[in-house]
Amino acid sequence: MNKLKIAVIGQSGQLAFELNRVASPHEIFCLGRNDINLFDFDDLCDVLDRIQPDAIINASAYTAVDKAELDQQNAFKLNAEAVELLGRYVKQHNIHLVHISTDYVFEGNKGKPYMPEDPIKPQGVYGLSKAEGEKRLTEVAGSQSCIIRTSWVYSSHGNNFVKTMVRLMNEKDELGVIDDQIGSPTWAHDLARACIASAEKKLTGTHHWTDEGVCSWYDFAMAIQQLGLEKGLIKKTIPVNPIPSEAYPTPAKRPHYSVMNKSSIKESLKPLKPEYWRVSLARMLDEL
């Protein structure tokens, strides 16, 4: 396998952290907001020209789903405009781009796993901005890029649902967790491996990657409690109550069902394949 020079857009997030861990034998350059101006094409070109990457993985995004409802301009700048400029760069330099997108591009009412080619219908600003980024990238550099949609990302690094649950279960006497939003968790460690493999194979098109299996946020929380107790991360059992979405209103509407079909990426990246979500969760909790 040829050793690649990979520029990772993003430095502080969960995926960038994991990409650093799984990159070997490739050379990784993580670029944070102080290293590259994603909104200035000349600056973007200057920074990337100095690295001369063989591939780019875009692990940066505006991901504050509720905040985006009132901050539309900034969400679209990072999730669409910056993606278009990265697309222009890879097109000009004849290199490959792996771009991460989201289950939030779907409405969430299908009731069976979404295929990559299914019609999209975002419910909020975050989803709309990510959908626009997908569209612009496909138009500008579709033959030199792939889009990987994912969901419910967690890792031992940064802020995420798993770490929040572990903390709250140690602090609170009782918790309520939504039980009517159904999806698939994603360990960022394995997502990073899929990104590297996609760069190696110059994968094109739109694909889905999550852990295997399906659960609600409530199911996910119960598994975190059970495994956390076994591993000594959680000190006591507390009641965890299933609640409907209406009981926990948020500014942005979430998809009720966002399970995604992964067959295209599993076929393309053989022998790499996702693990069952509870297995991945246990491995991540071991790291904690």
Active site residues: 126
Sign of dihedral through CA atoms 187, 122, 249, 13?
A: positive
Backbone angles phi, psi at 71, to 5 degrees: -130, 45
Count the Cβ atoms, other than its own, within 10 Å of residue 265: 26
Q: Are 56 and 96 in contact (CB under 8 A)?
A: yes
Q: Give the dihedral of Cα atoms 275, 269, 78, 183; nearest 10 deg.
A: -30
Distance CA 105, CA 123 (A): 8
Distance CA 196, CA 201 (A): 9
DSSP string, 106-125: S-S--SSPBPTTSPP---SH
Count the Cβ atoms, other than its own, within 10 Å of residue 207: 25
Q: Are 22 and 189 in contact (CB under 8 A)?
A: yes
Q: How far is CA 119 from CA 105, 106, 156, 267, in A?
A: 9, 8, 34, 22
Q: What angle do CA 181, 186, 190 make, to 5 degrees?
A: 170
Count the Cβ atoms, other than its own, within 10 Å of residue 267: 10
Sorted by sequence, the CB contacts under 8 Å of residue 194 that are 6+ apart come out as: 148, 209, 265, 269, 272, 274
